[in-house]
A and B are shown apart, each in its own frame.
With several copies, the nearest count.
Chain A
Amino acid sequence: MARVVVDVMLKPEILDPQGKAVHGAFARLGFDGVADVRQGKRFEITLEGEATEERVAEIRKAADTLLANPVIEDYTLHVEGDR
């Protein structure tokens, strides 16, 4: 069984209230030296069988339509173990 990971982040120019709140909490808790925090989503998709090129292309299509909202989000996709 192979695993495909899709990381979805808000585009850099889009306000990220969640990241902002975490950044604020870092500061209050005394974790200094943090310039920015962005919070996104991580999907771990376990396939039945191999991560063939075709299957990965399918998942990529799903990422485009389902996992990420292209209006405000970007995503990256990788097969686990591949990097």
Chain B
Amino acid sequence: MKIGVVTFPGSLDDVDARRAAAVAGAEAVPLWHGDADLHGVDAVVLPGGFSYGDYLRAGAISRFAPVMDTIIKKAGEGLPVLGICNGFQVLCESHLLPGALIKNHHRKFVCKDQGLRIENNRTAWTSDYDANHEITIVLKNQDGSFVADEATLDRLEGEGRVVARYLGNPNGSYRDIAGITNERGNVVGLMPHPEHCVETLTGPSTDGLGFFTSVLKAVVAS
């Protein structure tokens, strides 16, 4: 069982994502943005960071990386993909997920322990959580405010594709949305950082581990 973690120029939480995958019991495989080959991984994490400095728009330049061409294709075939923070931004820029992430409404970088409610536990990445499970994981970003037009938001809610919602909106996200999924439930984008919450020694909780254990089960089941 292999979880690939992509490193883009400017990725920062790739090491953490690999550690979290390993803690969950998977083999973590580093993937390089310039290499279109996924090296046989069973699932992919696009980690947090400031790829290409977030200079144009967060995730805008990374989406054109050779590895993304393959990921976009395989995601369509059902490969589980989790985009965390900058990874979420890359997924939106790649149009694998609807909407976009813009600057926090307070315009500052924010790092805090954030309460979330898991609203959809039927995705490849959230099956280990109970429905409406409340968890606390690390939130840290500059461009974390999820926006989309009303029709898109209504569709996301109507189809149960809001994966996680903030308990107390930290960044101006529309309808308190912290994470969403595609129709099929294999691609998930999440603003907060579950990979920082797999050990009590270095994180505020171990509430993030479920994302990584969930995908192991999803892969075994498929």
Task: Give the CA-CA distance A18 to B56 in the complex, in Å.
Answer: 6
CB-nearest residue of chain A to B150: A13
| CA distance in complex: A69, B64 (Å) | 13
Given the complex, which residues of A lie within 8 Å of B99, measured CB to CB? 71
Contact pick for A17, options B53, B61, B93, B149, CB 8 Å: B53
Tell me the bound Cα distance from A67 to B55 in angstroms. Answer: 11
Give the chain A neighbours of B107 by CB distance below 8 A. 17-18, 21
The interface residues of chain B, by DSSP majority, are classed as loop
What is the CA–CA distance of A28 and B52 in the complex, to the nearest angstrom?
13
Contacts of B64 in A (CB 8 A): 25, 28-29, 66
Report the interface size for chain A: residues with CB under 8 A from the other chain.
18
Beta-carbon contacts under 8 Å, B88-103 to A:
92-93, 98-100, 102-103
Distance between Cα atoms of A14 and B149 in the complex (Å) = 8
Q: Is the CB of B56 within 8 A of A22?
A: yes
Q: How far is the CA of A22 from the CA of B18 in the complex (A)?
A: 29
Given contacts A15-B147, A17-B172, contact A25 B103 (CB under 8 A): no
Contact A10 B102 (CB under 8 A): yes
B186 within 8 Å of A (CB atoms) = no
| Contact status A14-B102, CB under 8 Å | yes
Tell yes or no: B2 within 8 A of A by CB.
no
Cβ–Cβ contact A17 & B147, under 8 A = no
User: Is A72 in the interface zone, CB < 8 Å from B?
Assistant: yes
Residues 170-189 of B contacting A (Cβ, < 8 Å)? 172
User: Assuming the A-B contacts A21-B53, A69-B93, are A15 and B105 also in contact, with contact meaning beta carbons closer than 8 angstroms in the complex?
Assistant: yes
CB pair B55 A66 closer than 8 Å: no
Q: When chains A and B are docked, how far (Å) is the Cα of A29 from the Cα of B56?
A: 15
B56 partner residues in chain A, CB cutoff 8 A? 18, 21-22, 25, 39, 66-67
Instruction: Give the contacts of A48-73 with B (CB-CB under 8 A).
Output: 66-67, 69, 71-72
Which residues from B are CB-within-8-Å of A66?
Answer: 56, 60-61, 64
B104 contacts the other chain (Cβ, under 8 Å)? yes
| A17 and B98 within 8 A (CB) | no
Beta-carbon contact of B100 and A17 below 8 Å: no
B148 within 8 A of partner (CB): yes
User: Could you list 20 A-B pairs, sorted by A, with CB under 8 Å?
Assistant: A13-B150, A14-B147, A15-B102, A15-B105, A17-B102, A17-B105, A17-B106, A18-B56, A20-B105, A21-B52, A21-B55, A22-B55, A25-B61, A39-B56, A66-B56, A69-B93, A71-B98, A71-B99, A71-B100, A72-B147
Apart from the given pairs A18-B56, A18-B103, A21-B53, 14 other A-B contacts in the complex at a CB distance below 8 Å: A17-B104, A20-B105, A21-B61, A22-B55, A25-B52, A25-B64, A39-B55, A67-B56, A69-B57, A69-B93, A69-B100, A71-B99, A71-B100, A72-B100
